[in-house]
Chain A
């Protein structure tokens, strides 16, 4: 299985801050990397697919980058509705593993 490691596991930020979350794969996954946002009690929501493609309807303050083994999700100016847990997921091979999640909290 490909292992996905996110860092940090949690972070505190203030509204308007720039937030960066990293995700590292245990082997190269090309650009087969997706990012999801999950709020408490809700299903995950796709933000970014193919490492850097913004899903329809997702605000442009979200962006993704990277390829191979190292990837980044950036929120350019975090808003109150962005406080949630974020997961990366590789879709390069089966099983399509998730990272352990990064919780973004209000500072």
Chain B
């Protein structure tokens, strides 16, 4: 089965660091971009950035550049989203997504497989 499985919920304090993960299975992980999407409580979807697992090339939204780091380890089919210093405003649900089911979807930039989401709560 093609799937992305994310790490569990996290509760952190402001200023702490954090890395959450997204593990792909059932497909060639290195062949498809992994995208990270933020959803703040009660709000819409925000595109954060993406990584090509084959060479770890990244694109970031200007809104997130410099505040988060996206990385990947293709040897274990896992992508990561990390913060070096969390803020209360980072409280959100974070999704990873990719396009491994249909080549046509991948070419057009749609995302046809999503992780279940990781809830991050930052509170003092």
Contacts and interface: CB of A to CB of B under 8 A. Distances in A.
Contact of B109 (A32, A38, A99, A100): A32
A36 B111 CA distance: 9
Interface stretch (A17-25, A66-74, A76-84, A90-98): A90-98
B110 A101 contact: no
A89 interface: yes
Interface residues of B, number: 28
A45 B115 CA distance: 11
B59 interface: yes
Q: How large is the interface on A (under 10, 10 to 19, 20 to 34, 35 or more residues)?
A: 20 to 34
Interface of A: 1, 31-32, 34, 36, 38, 43-46, 49-50, 53, 55-56, 85, 87, 89, 91-92, 94-101
Interface of B: 35, 37, 44-47, 49-50, 59-63, 95, 97, 101-102, 104-105, 108-112, 114-117
Given A49-B108, A96-B35, 8 more contacts: A49-B110, A50-B110, A87-B45, A95-B49, A95-B63, A96-B50, A98-B45, A99-B44
Which 9 pairs between the two chains have the least Cβ-Cβ distance? A91-B109, A49-B110, A95-B61, A43-B114, A34-B110, A50-B108, A101-B44, A98-B45, A94-B59
7 contacts: A1-B62, A36-B45, A44-B95, A46-B105, A94-B61, A96-B50, A98-B44
